[in-house]
Structure 1
Amino acid sequence: MARKGRRATFEEKVFALRLLGGSMSPDRVAEALGVGRESVFRWKRQARAGGIEALRIKKAPGRPRRLTPGQEQTIKAVVRDVTPRQVLGTAVVLWTRALVAMVIAAWFGIDLSVTATGRLLRGLGLSPQRPAYAALRRDPAAITGWTTVAFPAICRRARRRGTVVLFADEMSMRVDHRCGTTWALVGQTPVVSAGAGRRSVKMFSAVGADGTLRYRLGHGAMDRWAFLGFCAQLLRTITGPIVLIVDGSSIHTARAVGDFVARTGGRLRLFFLPAYAPEVNPDEWVNQNVKARVARQAVADEHELAAAMHRSMRRLQKRPDIVRAFFADPHLAYISP
């Protein structure tokens, strides 16, 4: 039955007309359905004028759209594909609702409020997001060449020789590195006691698609000598030839490193990733995993930091399934297990 304070359904209106057709008075029909007497007479008039279908509840049309469908799709393409710098000539490269409203006013002569612009963008399937930044000197052709030509050739030679292929990288983590969130009362920011200062721990690591993981921690400078120490550790702990894939930083391209590699008699070979393409190096996932876990522990000094990093890396060594899962990243699809 219909209740006062809401609209009656189509079925209830049809039922009311049937009751009227059965000689029940409008007052009794209204009482039976819990609606006003005027509603019953209105339904009767609507059915007489337009038939039973006229009783269906019609959605209010609302305010008409200010932009045509074509104009809306143009705005969607602009926000998706270009930056405000390219469109408006500003120094800003991130879209805001106000900037989109400026484009709409300049191109179509239609003034939309910031709120209406936000509704329009969400209706077009857009949302505010934190962008990923790519270096201006990044070379997409070189990245494509690496993933489709250079690396497959390295893998073919490595399989013939029984060579272990590892991706290596290094990172430095400071005692005051913080990330993550916690629960607290609204408006009351929690305080966590932790160490401070600029002291740091350096880490070299190397990872393979089969779950192999090696690392070396240190407190000294992150230079070519520290990298050579890590290379020497790899040669001691891994039997057979090793292919080590690194980025082109000066630590890896130093003459001392080249001389060391030459003295290994082919047991160690270095190959270099394209510049400004960290996403094609799976060891970046190792760094992110360690930082995310360690930063939540609020260490007091560099010694506690080193111990926490060691525990995190040992965990990954004992869980090669986690390491192999890093290679599921779409950017790493070019790497065969």
Structure 2
Amino acid sequence: MNEFDGRKINRKALEAIRIRAVKRVEAGESPEAVIKALGLTRSRIYEWIAKYRERGIEALRSSKASGRPPKLPGTALHKIYSLVVGRNPRQLKFPFALWTRSVVRELIRHEFAVRLSDVSVGRLLHRLGLSPQRPVRRAFQQNQPLVVDWMAKDFPRIKKMALEAGADIFFDERGVGPLRLSFWHYLGAQG
């Protein structure tokens, strides 16, 4: 008979085979005869018998596979969430002001010494309820005359200040403020 391969049998059928094999041995049949009849390996049947004698029939029942343990515990997930939601990457000494999977990956590597792929970081962020946000082209409540006025008067002054300081200007697409457009600038010399 071919050797038994439990990977090709569903969990319930495998459970029934384990119980039947052990009951036959417990009823007085030799383990060698059960091995031959069911195509088992010697180590496997003795492992099942030991489990049965130690913890009873429940030890032979199927259980859900535990799977790979997570690389990050729940406390780490909570910390990641609070860092990503509560701050911008510049506050954590990253060179850019927008959260990306790559930036979050570097944050995780730095904070927890765990290396994840961008895909794994995307899954983790999804599990935390965070999703990529695309900027709205134009807020529906936008007051166009005020925007034009701001672009003509205030923005050139801000742009000049940033240029003199060697800083970058980033726009926050969340739409904060009366214009439904907010900005902030990072002045490296002053900040």
State TM-score, norm by structure 2.
0.52
Superposition deviation, residue 276 in structure 1: 5.9
Structure 1 counterpart of 2:31? 26
Counterpart among 11, 15, 24 of residue 10 in structure 1: 15
Native 8 Å contact 2:101 2:122 kept in 1:
no
Summarize the Cα distance change of 1:71–1:126 in structure 2 as closer, same or farther, 3 Å threshold: closer
Structure 2 counterpart of 1:318? none
Superposition deviation, residue 128 in structure 1: 9.5
Summarize the Cα distance change of 1:127–1:88 in structure 2 as closer, same or farther, 3 Å threshold: farther
Superposition deviation, residue 13 in structure 1: 0.9
Mapped pair 1:113 → 2:118: no
Structure with bigger RCO (C-alpha 8 Å, 6+ apart): 1
1:123 & 1:32 partners in 2: Cα distance?
Answer: 48
1:194-246 per-position Cα deviation (integer Å, ceiling 9, x unaligned): xxxxxxxxxxxxxxxxxxxxxxxxxxxxxxxxxxxxxxxxxxxxxxxxxxxxx
Describe the SS at the equivalent of 1:53: helix
Native 8 Å contact 1:46 1:55 kept in 2:
yes
Summarize the Cα distance change of 1:248–1:30 in structure 2 as closer, same or farther, 3 Å threshold: same
1:72 & 1:85 partners in 2: Cα distance?
Answer: 20
Superposition deviation, residue 4 in structure 1: 2.1
Native 8 Å contact 1:43 1:55 kept in 2:
yes
Native 8 Å contact 1:84 1:95 kept in 2:
no
Counterpart among 128, 131, 134 of residue 132 in structure 1: 134
Mapped pair 1:122 → 2:123: yes
Counterpart among 83, 89, 92 of residue 78 in structure 1: 83
Native 8 Å contact 2:108 2:115 kept in 1:
no
Give aligned-pair identity as a percent: 22
1:92-151 per-position Cα deviation (integer Å, ceiling 9, x unaligned): 414133x22332354x3x222242x7435514526996632157x96x9xx4xx9xxxxx
Structure 1 or 2: more helix by fraction: 2
Native 8 Å contact 1:76 1:121 kept in 2:
no
Structure 1 counterpart of 2:168? none
2:94 & 2:82 partners in 1: Cα distance?
Answer: 18
Superposition deviation, residue 62 in structure 1: 4.2
Describe the SS at the equivalent of 1:9: helix
Letter in structure 2 aligned against 1:111: A
Mapped pair 1:104 → 2:108: yes
Structure 2 counterpart of 1:201? none
1:57 & 1:84 partners in 2: Cα distance?
Answer: 47
User: Structure 2: where are the runs of 5+ without partners?
Assistant: 8-12, 146-177, 182-191
Structure 1 counterpart of 2:172? none
Structure 2 counterpart of 1:49? 54
1:118 & 1:131 partners in 2: Cα distance?
Answer: 17
Describe the SS at the equivalent of 1:119: helix
Paired residues, what number?
A: 141
Letter in structure 2 aligned against 1:5: D
1:128 & 1:118 partners in 2: Cα distance?
Answer: 14
1:81 & 1:61 partners in 2: Cα distance?
Answer: 32
Summarize the Cα distance change of 1:114–1:11 in structure 2 as closer, same or farther, 3 Å threshold: same
Native 8 Å contact 1:4 1:35 kept in 2:
yes
Structure 1 or 2: more strand by fraction: 1
Structure 1 counterpart of 2:189? none
Summarize the Cα distance change of 1:275–1:52 in structure 2 as closer, same or farther, 3 Å threshold: same
Describe the SS at the equivalent of 1:48: helix
Native 8 Å contact 1:20 1:26 kept in 2:
yes
Superposition deviation, residue 60 in structure 1: 5.5
1:174-195 per-position Cα deviation (integer Å, ceiling 9, x unaligned): xxxxxxxxxxxxxxxxxxxxxx
Letter in structure 1 aligned against 2:134: A
Structure 2 counterpart of 1:93? 98
